[in-house]
Amino acid sequence: MNATLIGIIIGIVLIFLFSLIKKDSKFAYLGIKLSRIYCPKCNEKQPIVRKPNNQRQALYGGHTCRKCGTEMDKYGEEIAK
Ligand SMILES: [Zn+2]
């Protein structure tokens, strides 16, 4: 075992743990959503690879629907502007 391998294993474990965070948890902003989400308004499937449109999306994830422009968080819930 070398240091690189240990680092990779720790990274995988952390991603797994963060993906278990529930969206109503106080740590929700740290959570990772691994499954696809859908627009809350028009049900458009959001792409896995996202291009952040603003600082909040860059930091915490989230999408802007390319069909209707609705902003949502990484759990697919609409964000009021
Ligand atoms: Zn939409």
Tens-digit pLDDT profile for residues 16-70: 998 888 888 888 777 777 778 899 999 999 887 777 778 878 877 888 999 999 9
Nearest to 30 by CA among 15, 18, 20: 18
Expressed in angstroms and rounded, the spacing between residue 1 Cα and the centre of ligand 1 is 47
Residue 9 has pLDDT above 70, yes or no: yes
CA of 78 to the centre of ligand 1 (A): 10
CB-based burial, 23-51: b 16+ in 10 Å, e otherwise: eeeeeeeebebeeebebbeeeeebeeeee
Hey, CA dihedral for 66, 72, 78, 81, is it positive or negative? Answer: negative
How many whole angstroms from 65 Cα to the centroid of ligand 1? 5
